[in-house]
Amino acid sequence: MPKTNKIAIFASGNGSNFEAIARACAENRLNAEVVLLVCDNPKAFVIQRAEKFNIPVFEFQPKNYASKADYEMEIVQLLKKYNIDLICLAGYMRLVSDVLLDEYEGKIINIHPSLLPDFKGLNAIQRAFESGVKVTGVTTHFVDKTLDGGKIIDQIEVPIENCTFEELETRIHTAEHELYIKTLAKFLII
């Protein structure tokens, strides 16, 4: 039976968060279905993950469009066609504009590998590791026009002490996969 809540995931890269969400849906740990991957990078590994779960992919290259508004208009049309309730950004390396926000503001969630508002932007795990702070973490938040700046939903702390950078990365990604599912569960219609 089709599930009530339809999710689109936007991703540009590896896709471990995509897979964590798709798996949680497939295993009925979330009352939702991932019905679309939106990907701006045809070489991204996340596309192979989507194929494994038989999830349709909208692949596009921003350079083939005259403007961000142009490709976002095409994306909005697709989101409507798929009756999307919730959009998850998971390593989507672009800011969204008014075209998407006018239709879906309050329904777009992002995950970021730091305790926001600290370490916004790229290489957040590395910058936290090198900064000397003892604790970093993971944040889920609503998306607005600013970089990692929307209203915070949930956070998990991840200790930095006594670990290498690679160990910290693993801890962060494990925490991300757990936190994204917990956050999504709050917004699904049961």
Q: Is 112 in the site for ligand GRF (CB under 6 A)?
A: yes
Strands 57-59 and 5-11, by their bridges, are unpaired
Please report how close the Cβ of residue 16 comes to ligand GRF at its closest, in angstroms.
3
* Residue 68 or 177 with smaller CB distance to ligand GRF: 177
The residue nearest ligand GRF at its CB is 91
Q: Is 175 in the site for ligand GRF (CB under 6 A)?
A: no
Q: Is 39 in the site for ligand GRF (CB under 6 A)?
A: no
* Residue 35 or 168 with smaller CB distance to ligand GRF: 168
**Structural tokens at position 148:** 């990692």
With CB under 6 A as the contact rule, the residue among 90, 96, 143, 153 that binds ligand GRF is 90
Catalytic residue annotation: 112
With CB under 6 A as the contact rule, the residue among 7, 10, 17, 87 that binds ligand GRF is 17
Task: Return contacts of 168-176, CB within 8 angstroms, 24+ apart.
Answer: 168/125, 168/128, 168/129, 168/136, 169/125, 172/113, 172/125, 172/136, 172/137, 172/138, 173/16, 173/113, 175/137, 175/138, 176/16, 176/17, 176/20, 176/111, 176/113, 176/138
Contacting range for ligand GRF; rule: CB under 6 A; set: 6-14, 49-57, 79-87, 182-190:
6-14
